């Protein structure tokens, strides 16, 4: 289950954020799909956790939107992580129409439980 944090500048339109929220679960699932955690195209509650927050008064960023994805490390994911993050960055830019976007993919050794 990927955890996704989205920070955005105050001038980013509400519509762009709404569009981003709509495409991110699927786009992130495609970006982190691997044999160990295959994506069947059928998202269920808890499959992708999105957390939006505006830039704070002390944040420093030259980007309109930054998307940080944390998903469990698997060797198959790590092998082509740059391709994965490049594709996700392109999807974010297309969905929002913004040119100043960044995507960070972190693959920590982790465990997850859900009830």
Share of the chain above pLDDT 70, in %: 100
Q: How much is the mean pLDDT over the chain?
A: 93
- Residue 53: the pLDDT is 97
**What are the C-alpha distances in Å from 38 to residues 9, 13, 65, 101?**
33, 33, 28, 27
The model's pTM = 0.91
Per-residue pLDDT of 46-61, as tens digits, reads 889 999 999 999 998 8
Per-residue pLDDT of 70-105, as tens digits, reads 999 999 999 999 999 999 999 999 999 999 999 999
- Residue 113: the pLDDT is 77
Query: Where exactly are the structural domains of the chain?
Result: 20-93
């Amino acid at each position: 289950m990927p955890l996704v944090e989205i920070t955005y500048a105050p001038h980013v339109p509400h519509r762009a954020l709404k569009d981003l929220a709509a495409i991110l679960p699927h786009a992130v699932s495609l970006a982190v799909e691997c044999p160990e955690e295959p994506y069947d195209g059928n998202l269920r509650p808890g499959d992708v956790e999105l957390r939006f927050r505006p830039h704070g008064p002390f944040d420093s960023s030259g980007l309109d939107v930054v998307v940080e994805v944390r998903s469990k490390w698997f060797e198959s994911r790590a092998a082509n992580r740059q391709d994965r993050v490049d594709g996700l960055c392109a999807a974010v830019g297309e969905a929002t129409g913004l040119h100043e976007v960044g995507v960070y993919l972190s693959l920590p050794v982790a465990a997850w439980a859900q009830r």
